[in-house]
Amino acid sequence: MNIAKFKCYQQVMNWLWKDDLHALHGIDRWSRLSVRMLIVLIRDQFDGELSVRAASLVYTTLLSVVPLLAVSFSVLKGFGVHNELEPLLNNFLAPLGEEGRNLSASIIGFVENVKVGVLGSIGLVFLLYTVVSLTQKVESSFNSLWQVERLREFSRRIFSYLGVILVGPVLVFAALGLTAAVMNNALVKGVMNVEPVGRIIVSGSNLLPYLLVIAAFTFAYILVPNTRVRLLPALAGGVLAGILWQTSGWGFAAFIASSSRYAAIYSGFAILVLLLIWLYLNWWILLLGAKVSFYVQYPQYLTRHPVQVSLSNRLREYLALQLMFLIAERYIHQQEPWSLDDFVQYIGLPMQPVYHVLRVLEEAGFVAETSEVPPVYLPRRDIDAVRVSELLHVMRRAGETRLLTLHHLSHQAGAEATMQAVEQALEDKLGERTLKDMVMSGQYPQAGAPSPE
């Protein structure tokens, strides 16, 4: 009996993990993708990364909520819709019950006491810095989930963050106002009296909050990470996170209504504890959706065992050759240079390993990153003078420092002789073959436009 169960288990595991998802199609692909996604997300939750980053964002939110709302309040006041800020905050804190409304009133009171006009230049800079720090922390968390190690350039970061902070509230309330105007239109009211059209419109209006939240999350997953996120993966994460975010409010409100222990245990601090839990849940849902977007865009990371991001020596050398080939080919044919996002989309790897190899090539003087937005990569040396063996030697020595080289290892004549023989064989085989020779030989796949997938 146990042998039969084991065989059945092995068959299920083989069906689930053995085949490459890119080789599957239709229902078979999506069914395996969904099951793998569920298992990997549960594994990631036990790893603790989502929990730690959600907790970190809760702390930053507590420090930044009043400055953030103060800036938004000032912008909305210029459009005459600042009074709508409190209902929006009430709606967010509604799962906390009556105490949530009291907390909302207190926060709005703090916001109204922040007089942006009388803060002075230093106070205004500090206010904006506090707000920008929250958005930077959010981008850092998203980048970590997408395996991106660097933030946007400082100038891009400031303009992007301030654009979201200053323009975002206006767009949200404009969308809500447009929706209300359409629903109050006489023609729409007349159509609603016709069945079953009226029932469909009412049902659609009930779905509107879900659609708005899904749209907001989708755009966040596209815009916030410092990498190119395709629409379909962002939408997949947005749908999951939006539905969870909307429905979690009901569940949390039911939890608050059925639990009287918190008030007895924490007394006056009960609302603070519940607020922390509610903020944590919201950030966790947002990060979970970002993780789903990553896995939909890179299904090769949905594996039975966690994928190690670090490349093997062989893959690192091959990736270096491939990147130099692509850069040199575009340069020879005077085509548009490659950006980091272009490399990521074309090669099919996440940004982190590609960026690591580019950094090694840049530090070794083979490529140069321009100051454009986004930056592109060009050859820094004459490609007719860059020997392929030199490239490989640089990649083999990547990571060595003054305190960590072969000279610091114990002397062993046999090992040293073998290493020298390997390097000499590499030199003899490749000879004076240059990067230009590699491109012109046509032995490597010709580089095309970045893949839309």
For residue range 372-395, list pLDDT tens digits in order: 767 889 999 998 888 888 888 888
How high is the pLDDT of residue 262?
58
Phi and psi dihedrals of 350, rounded to 5? -60, 170
The stretch 396-405 carries a mean pLDDT of 73
For 243-275, what is each residue's pLDDT tens digit?
888 888 777 777 766 666 655 555 556 677 778
For 59-109, what is each residue's pLDDT tens digit?
888 777 766 666 666 666 655 555 666 666 666 677 776 666 777 777 767
How high is the pLDDT of residue 445?
43
pLDDT band at 370 (very low <50, low <70, confident <90, very high): confident
Tokens of 172: 């949200």
Phi and psi dihedrals of 368, rounded to 5? -130, 140
For 303-343, what is each residue's pLDDT tens digit?
877 766 677 888 888 999 999 999 999 998 888 999 888 88
Query: Which residues have CB under 8 Å from 9's CB, separation 6+?
Result: none
**Architecture of the structural domain at 313-400+412-441:** Orthogonal Bundle (1.10)
Phi and psi dihedrals of 339, rounded to 5? -100, 170
Written in H, E and C, the secondary structure of the chain is CHHHHHHHHHHHHHHHHCCCHHHCCHHHHHHHHHHHHHHHHHHHHHHCHHHHHHHHHHHHHHHHHHHHHHHHHHHHHHCCCHHHHHHHHHHHHHHHCHHHHHHHHHHHHHHHHCCHHHCHHHHHHHHHHHHHHHHHHHHHHHHHHCCCCCCCCHHHHHHHHHHHHHHHHHHHHHHHHHHHHHHCCHHHHHHHCCCCHHHHHHHHHHHHHHHHHHHHHHHHHHHCCCCCCCHHHHHHHHHHHHHHHHHHHHHHHHHHHHCCHHHHHHHHHHHHHHHHHHHHHHHHHHHHHHHHHHHHHCHHHCCCCCCCCCCCHHHHHHHHHHHHHHHHHHHHCCCCCEEHHHHHHHHCCCHHHHHHHHHHHHHCCCEEECCCCCCEEEECCCCCCCEHHHHHHHHHCCCCECCECHHHCCCCHHHHHHHHHHHHHHHHHHCCCEHHHHHHHCCCCCCCCCCCC
Q: Where are the domains of the chain?
A: 2-46, 48-301, 313-400+412-441
Query: Does 451 have pLDDT greater than 50?
Result: no
Tokens of 111: 């916001």
Query: Does 446 have pLDDT greater than 60?
Result: no
How high is the pLDDT of residue 233?
92
For 138-192, what is each residue's pLDDT tens digit?
888 888 888 887 777 766 666 666 655 555 555 555 555 555 555 555 555 555 5
pLDDT band at 444 (very low <50, low <70, confident <90, very high): very low
* % of residues, the chain, pLDDT over 90: 10
Calculate the average pLDDT of the chain. Answer: 75
How high is the pLDDT of residue 35?
85
Most confidently modeled range among 20-29, 211-220, 287-296, 363-372:
287-296
Tokens of 24: 């599957």
DSSP 404: B
Query: Does 350 have pLDDT greater than 50?
Result: yes
Query: Does 295 have pLDDT greater than 80?
Result: yes
For 19-60, what is each residue's pLDDT tens digit?
777 777 778 788 888 888 888 888 888 888 888 888 888 888
For 117-129, what is each residue's pLDDT tens digit?
555 555 566 666 7
